[in-house]
Structure 1
Amino acid sequence: MSFNWEAFAAAEPDFAETVEKRFGAFTHHVLATLRKDGSPRTSGLEVRFLNGELWLGMMPNSLKALDLRRDPRFTLQANPGSGSEMAGGDVRIAGRAVEVRDRETVARYTDAVNPPDPDAFHLFRTELTEVVRTSIEDGRYLAVQVWKPGAPSRTTRRA
């Protein structure tokens, strides 16, 4: 079963809104992919929430794009911002990135985003396997909210 952003937002609207706001607070975020040898690679990345999808756009033949072509698993972490306040909490999304080459879909994306070179970039849509938010509640509880496809989100708290 494949869950895109729209399916997650329909299942967990408040959680999805919180995650989008967290990613919207900054332009650049951190993407983790897997290298040829299986070791992790982290890279900076901009993300877009458009037309019910979470999109990852990348420069032509970037190492992160080549990683995802070889092994589509990824984790994306929202920029924590400056200082230690992390307003909105720490947010991470994991899943699979599927490269999109359909001209009509790519054209809709480029019309909305206006990338530097609309004819030379990799575009991936995401299939979600997990969304996690870690935050501090009431100034004393560590709260971890987790969503996985096919089940409601659950929150655990520790003092």
Structure 2
Amino acid sequence: MAPMTSSSPSSPVSWDAFAAAEPVFADTVRRRFQLYKHHVLATLRADGSPRVTGLEADFRFGELLLGMMPDSRKALDLRRDPRFAFHANPGPDAEMNDGDVRVSGRAVEVTDPEFLARVIEDADPPQPFHLFRAELTEVVRIGLDGDFLVIDSWRPGQALRTVRRK
């Protein structure tokens, strides 16, 4: 019997690291998020059940930033358990010609005063606010190509994987 190998997942990465590893795919994902203002963030409640809420995607300074109102439930969820999934708004097109995109990973609260000052100067967000930086563990795009469902997926330390299903 062959020895079992363990394939532990790589550490989460910043948006910039993802974009450096897969620039074309990252551009596709970013453009898909930028089609609409509001998207859906999934977090975990204290009891482990999912919570989904609306949120805007902010690509700034090489990061995917998630800004939230002070003490919002989603911010408190992420402070307690940083795991998240962020799904791009599917839009009004029932055919989903632009594909279906989501990212998941860990949200790390930004507390660095200099970085927060840069965001405030550049974006002028309503204050006060919580700001989280997305550390990605998976990026997925699902689309159609004729009669085929095409699933592109990426994880840190791995090459972009494409699966076609009929």
TM-score for both structures, normalised by structure 1? 0.96
How is 1:143-154 mapped onto 2 (pairs within 5 angstroms)?
143-154=150-161
TM-score for both structures, normalised by structure 2? 0.92
Distance 1:46 1:87 in 2: 21
Aligned equivalent of 1:123, options 124, 127, 131: 131
Instruction: Give 1:158's aligned residue.
Output: 165
Q: Are 2:128 and 1:103 aligned?
A: no
**How many residue pairs get matched?**
156
Which amino acid in structure 2 is aligned with residue 61 of structure 1? D
| Structure 1 spans left out of the alignment, 5+ residues | none
Identity %: 60
**Which of the two has higher C-alpha Rg?**
2
Which amino acid in structure 2 is aligned with residue 34 of structure 1? L
Decide whether the 8 Å contact of 1:18 with 1:88 is kept in 2: no
Secondary structure of the structure 1 residue equivalent to 2:97: coil
- Runs of 4+ displaced beyond 4 Å: none
**C-alpha distance after superposition, 1:64-85 (max 9, x if no partner):** 0000000000000000001313
Q: Are 2:87 and 1:80 aligned?
A: no
**C-alpha distance after superposition, 1:24-83 (max 9, x if no partner):** 000000000000000000000011111111000000000000000000000000000013
Shift of 1:112: 1.8
| Structure 2 spans left out of the alignment, 5+ residues | 1-10
Decide whether the 8 Å contact of 2:12 with 2:106 is kept in 1: no
